[in-house]
Structure 1
Amino acid sequence: MNISTKSLPLAVASAMALTSFGALADYPDGPITVVAPYGPGGSSDLAARTMASSIPDYIGGNVLVVNRTGAAGVVGSNFVRNAAPDGETLLLARYGSHATGPALNPDAPYDWDDFTYLGMLSLDAFVCIVPADSPYDNLDEWREGVAASPGKYSYSTSGFGTGNHLVVSLLLDSQGIDPDTANHVPYEGDGEVVSSVVGGHVDFTCVNLSPALGQINSGTVKPLGVTTPERVDDLPEVPSFSELGYDSMEAGVGWSALVGPPDLNGEIVEAWTAALAQLKDSESWNAAVLRLGAIPSVMSPEETKDFVGSQVGVIRDIVERLDLAN
């Protein structure tokens, strides 16, 4: 039964208001765990730790990052999906774990909207790379080589249903190459995915820019293009796929968001909304995100959920068209 404070004596109504304020003021009353659902060193891990190092000034408590890997982000995400809605366990949600994963795997134990959205943190370009000793220096050369030798070339991802799995499929499709003619080699996280290209264990991949940027700058891998509509500031010499004539690659723009279990207390949502609004203006956090090759893009819970929902719709259309579902 809903009771309006207008019908209560002033003292009782004031006590209720103070109790409500106290519940908010007491959060958090201990460490907050943010689960990164992919391996250490990858873009999920880096995004989570960058946020965790800055947010205590605004949320008023320590934030610890824990990696819970497996099943292309499903293990960690489902752990938070089933956690108590007390704000003590949150998730660094990713494009792969919440947009491409449920679209590619209808049997996933959760859907994209089975969580309480707290806010978007950043957007991420994907970059497609080849080893430094690859005979291909640009997209045209790469396309001709891969198309001429079906079954010869391999690519790495963080697993079936991840963002880079979808983006590689988009890349092959955009070049008129059947995605099934390249060999898929899954790893645990983006860090391993990039290392597999550096070491020449696979022939190419598409991965979030943040874990690949250092390797690109050091010359241990060669970039073919980025998925953002325009070139990114950190790689001014690398063309976007759109400027090369492949607009479909814009569906491969990743992101990092903070989410909690379903039915998270509204006061906790308000606390995080206020904290992220302050984080948005933090010069040190913005600089740290930019150093990772990501784009600071703090959004409200409502804006975040609308953004993700719209993207999921586009991705599901792509998955159906390419017959990519597991």
Structure 2
Amino acid sequence: MVALSPPIPAALTDGHGRRIDYLRLSVTDRCDLRCRYCMAEDMQFLPKSAVLSIEEMADLAERFVARGVRRIRLTGGEPLVRRGIDTLATRIGALIGRGLDELTLTTNAMRLSEHAEMLAASGVRRINVSLDTLDPAAFRHITRVGTLETALDGIAAARRAGLAVKINMVALARLNEDQLLPMLDWCAANGCDLTLIETMPLGEIAEDRSDHYMPLHQFVAPLRTQRALYPIDRRTGGPARYFAIEDSPVTLGLITPLSDNFCASCNRIRLTVEGRIYMCLGQDDHVDLRIALRERGDVNGLIDRALAGKPRAHDFRIERKSQPAVARHMSATGG
């Protein structure tokens, strides 16, 4: 008798017909910074027993690639604080060319100097670095505990290792609204592209987010008075719209979750370090894969249930003294 091969699970498509081919995999909820717009100063993190092991995360990554995921981004928290990150990056990187097109990572660069060579060796070719200012005092204020020099050293190490670096800069009224032009000049001099992001109402923080929310059209206004911006047809798997800048080698990306909703083209699914799929960054509904994974349950069935429940769009709003859209912080979901 000829043994029958197990059926291949269907490709990932949500209830609105959107093809899902991009997994954002959070490897930890912990971070070595406490950025004011992202985290409370005194955070409560998950106990070790509640998080997936490196082996479990690699197993789930392989399952998602088998279902048609073509890009995986490692996120956190800060992914480079996770013990075993080298093992995970190497194992997922081995899938490149075997269903996976690309493995990337988002980092605050505090530990990038020590990990840049490892990332390049694992198959990572480009990374995103969160960097909101080039002013050392403002950097310390925004991050509460960070040192700008450490971040810049990490970026330099990544460039030496052959990694392409894109800077992610959150637009923050009264904190860095005068920093766009210096950041663009620095990116041009250091071979980096730049993406600007509106702050999002996720998790309780000490300050009122409305005090620092700034729509990107306003943040970019000083640049438009000096140089023309030209839309370009570039896709990297995420929600950014890209522009060429007159007389600059820098490609500028804009991510506008509040002022210009981008959900119609959503191709992403987020898996937290607890093993939960959150169907939307701005919603609390989730499906938990951890128990099924550990007890050999129907993981693919749960993934299909999550996709069927994926909403058409988030409902982000930032108003004076408003509550966050969801109680969990970005670090608990995966940036």
TM-score (norm 1): 0.27
TM-score, reference length from structure 2:
0.27
Q: Which has the higher helix share?
A: 1
Larger Rg: 1
